[in-house]
Amino acid sequence: MKKTNHVRTTGRIVRKLLPALAVAAAFGSLAMPAQAAGSVVLYTADGLENLYKDVLPAFEKQEGVKVDIVTAGSGEVVNRATVEKDSPKADVLVTLPPFIQQADQAGLLQPYQSANYKGVPAIAKASNGAWATFVNNYFSFAINPDVVKSEPKTFADLLQPDYSGKVAYSNPATAGDGMAVIILTTSLMGEDKAFDYLKKLEQSAKFHTKGTGYLDVLLSRNEISVANGDLQMDLDDAANGGLTLKPIFLAAAPGGKPTTFQLPYAIALIKNGPNQTEGKKLIDYLMSKDVQAKVPDIFGIPGRTDVPLAGKNGEAVKQAIAGVKLVPVDWNQVMAKKADWTTRWKNDVIGNSGKQLDVVKPAQ
């Protein structure tokens, strides 16, 4: 495996950013240094580090402010903002569904109709301006192709003895990609059969992680063979992170089409944030055509439909998703089910197994 410059922290792999970008890496404590004068704070789900590294220096120079970044799993950043609701420490939030809807329902977001939201389809943004799709993406699984010579094609394939102790996926309570495992299986199998399946799959599961990015590291280290993820992260980690992994999509049954759903990064203004003026400018900037045109460089899909998915990496995304069936997701229904699903997963799937649920660092 190639050497990388990854910093291992909670959530996905966090790349070392430019010195101007302060990254709060651990969420074990909710303490955070006081916001520096002339700074804007971004709480973000992990996976977009290379994009931020590329585009934020120009914003900092243009505005004369520093962007302080706190990166973790999508559920974690929302949980942190919830704890801080009465005295917000951040200005902008980037996270995955259903956690962006959770933040909106909890009153954490300030509706903001950025002029640059006009290029985002109505279905991909909140009608009240509370959030909009920033980077579009797809849920996926991933394998280590050096180890798994015969790709699993269906969900049932993961129950085979070859994968015993070699499967892991992120905790649905703390990671959007983990909740996505439940969303897709319930969509394809129905709720009861999906949880029956996940209970069977647990016999092959080694552990669960707090966020999703460490799974790519563990795949590359051959500590596991199959994990959940998302297409943008998996392609980016393989191409730019020096990790040995390959994104795949699974079918519900033999002979069926591989299936997935859209799992976008959404962006929002945090209500009563300490620097809302610069927070709004940061959202405008990240949703600008110039920045959106760079999204394909990290294997993401621009949130704006007036910006094409172009370039070599854009073509790689198109090729990866070719022939994959997309299923619609009713995020309002997911929000209604989320708490029950999380409890059912902990009770019926994990039970008294003693399985680790919040792994945050690869085994040494």
Q: Is residue 359 part of a domain?
A: no
**Residue 344: how many CB atoms within 10 A of its CB?**
18
Q: How far is CA 246 from the centre of its chain?
A: 17
Both 269 and 280 in one domain: the answer is yes
Both 45 and 83 in one domain: the answer is yes
Query: Using one digit for the tens of pLDDT, what is the confidence trace for 243-297?
Result: 999 999 999 999 999 999 999 999 999 999 999 999 999 999 999 999 999 999 9
Which residues neighbour 246 within 8 Å (Cβ) at sequence distance 6 or greater? 142, 143, 144, 145, 234, 238
Q: Is residue 363 part of a domain?
A: no
pLDDT the model gives residue 260: 97
Both 32 and 101 in one domain: the answer is yes
First CA to last CA distance, the chain: 16
Both 128 and 151 in one domain: the answer is no
Question: What's the count of helices (H) and strands (E) in the chain, helices before strands?
Answer: 11, 17
Q: Is residue 243 part of a domain?
A: yes
Structural domains in the chain (count): 2
Both 78 and 198 in one domain: the answer is no
d(CA 20, CA 288): 21
Does this model's pTM top 0.75? My answer is yes
pLDDT the model gives residue 37: 57
Query: Using one digit for the tens of pLDDT, what is the confidence trace for 57-111?
Result: 999 999 999 999 999 888 889 999 999 999 999 999 999 999 999 999 999 999 9
- Domain extent, residue 125, equals 6-137+263-317
CA-wise closest residue to 182 among 201, 160, 207, 204: 201
Both 235 and 329 in one domain: the answer is yes
d(CA 327, CA 99): 19
Q: Is residue 364 part of a domain?
A: no
d(CA 179, CA 331): 12
Both 235 and 270 in one domain: the answer is no
Residue type at 296 in one-letter notation: P
pLDDT the model gives residue 24: 40
CATH number at residue 285: 3.40.190.10
